[in-house]
Chain A
């Protein structure tokens, strides 16, 4: 099992994500200008401020050469995990439904939050149980998840809402307390909280590690005996 973490100009949490992945499997950095993924099994689009958040969050990074390879990988059923700015990029790239708007209070917010696992059957959450509450930090300026009513109903029907902020703890005004969503195929997921900053008891919690662990478990299952 090998993770690839994409580095865009302006990425900030790519090394954090790389180290988090390495706790569970092999991992390497992928360069934004590269047209291929070098055979990695799962792609992580990390947090940060790709292209300085200019124009609109995630709007420029989605045109990077590497994103064509990421789209091919996703269409072929490969795993893609977008964290924070990575989530924004995946929405802009059309790999995930909805959009991330500026926080309701229009301020940057860094805070440890609790998110509930809605679906523990996905490749990203199978190390959890449905209903588990994970303590993971958020840190963003534009994390308010939005999708039109109709799209939300459709997502609900297809079980695409994977993580929700606990009631009363929605930090950014996201619709329906949504913290993380998947595509219909459940092989692409994005979330605003930073699981890579919750993998070590020394620096906080270890709850975020279960997402990376889930992906590593899934790959092992697929591997020939």
Chain B
């Protein structure tokens, strides 16, 4: 919907023109399940995505009919994107306490303690719907938004990771989306000087219409410098910093993020924001200097729903009121209506609260960084958000009603009687292990990610100790000058496994993340998640969501890792059906000595290779990458897991990696043991010779958590004890597994399959 269309609705109410009203009726039904009359006209609140009951509740809270501006603000604040109305109750199940936790869910980003008085703030967030409409700007502003979330808590961003999902690359649309999203992520991250150190990407049919672009950012701060977003101090000033406010992104939160996409995506292009990393770079440096000086009382970024949500959330947390004069907001274009100023999602803006006597100091710093700063209001004791246009009051709403009193809905989960996803098309017609490994390495889900990673600066900041694909997790030193102390980070979430079994698939995602950290010797401190699902009002999607959160909760309890914050992206669904349920998890851990962190690749000819497995955790081809290539139906259950036992294996690998003896460590994930061995060979440029008890397809390509391939001198492998089974030795130019052989050059050629997507 364009800004103009929305303007017509708000100004003209039910008199919006008939054609677009019909169009919105469809969306309204899709997004809210509202009971619609047969009348082709539609009430303004319905067009904005509010149900009749929600509208009645708003009237009750206000004690009167909302005016168009108030209705626009309420519709955004009560949208799924801002109010989490279908997920909030469920998310309360996740563990949010931990010994290292400094700041939990509810702030712009969560934070954990990493020692020496330092904190790491981090968060993952989705920008799926904008990226499906305009991939370059959608992905770029996704990165810009998550960066602001992190520096809003006073932390300097030091790393970006991204989690991407597209349809199969045989589709032109998917190639276009991949190319645009990768370029957009690189454009923003590279230009602003924050390294992209890791990420993941999968290609599956159900993401054809709804791609996923999740971006995660980590920032570093001294513990005492972390700042919260609660507005405080009646009489303090509200200052808007950064870019001018334009019509871009108007209504993005409600239109894009809270409704299913349909065939008229092109008409939504104006609701996608445009990013300017140069503006944000200055804003970032300016905010960090202001925080370092202690100038600010509170800081908040402007994201979805713009000034409406940032101001009301600051007021809510501080239990105060705010007066905002929209006439004082610097505008990008003439003639913007007050409601447009309040809901604009123009990028690169921050809102802060300061004491009046510190205004001159703020202005001096802003001038130095060439950042616009304008006093647009003040903190009041009214606990109301009052919107002024010069002298005139154009909106007056209770803060609680906006932020805390949106009705929350219970999900109505029903397990479907059959698998709801079609079997993937068969692309491999052979059972020959030689061919299977080559086909797997050449499949887009498993091929080398180097063609993507080379689009990103992974080095700026001088903290990157293990670059993308060098190790199972990215490793960053805390100080760029070589002082001790390091962190590791990984982001994971295999949607097809979750589609097979929402509970176990999600447990696996959490274990996979912890396994990746273990391979570099890192102990998990906290987790951020992004729950990407279809329409939660549909019973089968509600069931996926509930089971997935239960799985995540149980896995995190078992590992003792808290959730520090996250994001929910629902309605990833089109006329072709829902996406695979995709809980993406990003985990941050700490390690004492980055110098000994093992890489993925075999390091030296003659080193012993061992397999660490978890007793009882059987590898199976059900739901595996090989099953996908074979076109097998998705199963409705994955083998049950003993999370404690897998956790013990993960802990054993972590301790061995920390001890410093291991030359390489790699977890067995997609594609099974044979693919893991091939990846170790390719990363190290060395062959290997391996003997296994079984060399059938399950043994070679079966999947399931709790298995690792490690290598090192005999003594280091011996020190692993009975848990490790020696299976071979490193060396040569060939990977040999039992009687099957693959020259490294052949493996390398297969693994380069993604290069053709970036010609």
Contacts and interface: CB of A to CB of B under 8 A. Distances in A.
Contact of B459 (A48, A108, A110): A110
A126 interface: no
Interface string A186-205: 00000000101100101110
Interface string B470-482: 0000000100111
Contacts of B282: 9-10
A158 interface: no
A111 B281 contact: no
Contacts of B482: 200, 202
A52 B278 contact: yes
B459 A137 contact: yes
A109 B758 CA distance: 12
B374 interface: no
A15 B158 CA distance: 13
Contacts of B636: none
Given A10-B278, A19-B480, A54-B278, A203 B462 contact: yes
Interface string A80-108: 00000000000000000000000000011
B462 A111 contact: no
B708 interface: no
A194 B282 CA distance: 23
A82 B176 CA distance: 36
Contacts of B277: 49, 52
Interface stretch (B189-197, B432-440, B552-560, B728-736): B189-197
Given A54-B278, A107-B758, A197 B459 contact: yes
B294 interface: no
Interface stretch (B206-214, B448-456, B489-497): B448-456
Contacts of A47: 460
B458 A202 contact: no
A53 interface: yes
Contacts of B453: 110
Contact of A110 (B183, B187, B456, B462): B456
Contacts of B455: 107-110
Contact of A52 (B276, B456, B457): B276
B462 A9 contact: no
Nearest to B480: A19
Contacts of A11: 193
Interface in A99-140: 107-111, 137, 139
B465 interface: yes
A12 interface: yes
Size bracket of the B interface: 35 or more
B594 interface: yes
A16 interface: yes
Nearest to B179: A107
A202 B459 contact: no
A108 B190 contact: yes
A207 interface: no
A186 to B, nearest CB: 28
Contacts of B49: none
B462 A108 contact: no
A110 B594 contact: no
B465 A12 contact: no
A12 B193 contact: yes
A7 to B, nearest CB: 9
B749 interface: no
A91 B141 CA distance: 32
A202 B594 contact: yes
A177 B474 CA distance: 32
Contacts of B454: 108-111
B457 A19 contact: no
A2 to B, nearest CB: 18
Nearest to A51: B278
B281 A10 contact: yes
A109 B457 CA distance: 8
Contacts of A9: 278, 281-282, 369-370
Contact of B481 (A10, A19, A110, A196): A19
Given A19-B481, A108-B455, A203 B464 contact: yes
Interface string A45-61: 00111011110000000
A137 B190 CA distance: 14
Contacts of A137: 459
A9 B183 CA distance: 23
A213 interface: no
Contact of A16 (B186, B456, B461): B461
B278 A197 contact: no
Contacts of A52: 191, 276-279, 281
B179 to A, nearest CB: 10
A51 B191 CA distance: 10
Nearest to A198: B459
B758 to A, nearest CB: 7
Contacts of B477: 202-203
B105 to A, nearest CB: 31
A48 B281 CA distance: 11
Interface string B583-612: 000000000001100000000000000000
A16 B462 contact: yes
A122 B370 CA distance: 39
A139 B480 contact: no
Interface in A1-47: 9-13, 15-16, 19, 47
A9 B284 CA distance: 11
Contacts of B192: 12, 49
Contact of B595 (A10, A197, A202): A202
Most A C-beta atoms less than 10 A away, residue of B282, B459, B480 = B459
A141 B190 CA distance: 10
A107 B277 CA distance: 18
A203 B186 contact: no
Contacts of B276: 52
A49 B278 CA distance: 8
A177 B701 CA distance: 44
A11 B453 CA distance: 22
A85 to B, nearest CB: 11
B187 to A, nearest CB: 8
Interface in B352-396: 369-370
Given A108-B186, A110-B454, A203-B465, A13 B278 contact: no
25 contacts: A12-B192, A12-B460, A16-B461, A16-B462, A19-B480, A47-B460, A48-B193, A49-B278, A51-B278, A52-B277, A53-B191, A108-B190, A108-B454, A108-B456, A108-B457, A109-B454, A109-B455, A110-B458, A139-B190, A139-B457, A141-B190, A197-B460, A203-B459, A203-B462, A203-B463
Given A139-B459, A203-B462, A203-B463, 8 more contacts: A12-B191, A19-B462, A49-B190, A107-B183, A108-B190, A110-B459, A139-B190, A196-B462
Interface of A: 9-13, 15-16, 19, 47-49, 51-54, 107-111, 137, 139, 141, 194, 196-197, 200, 202-204
3 smallest beta-carbon distances between A and B, as pairs:
A52-B278, A12-B193, A49-B191
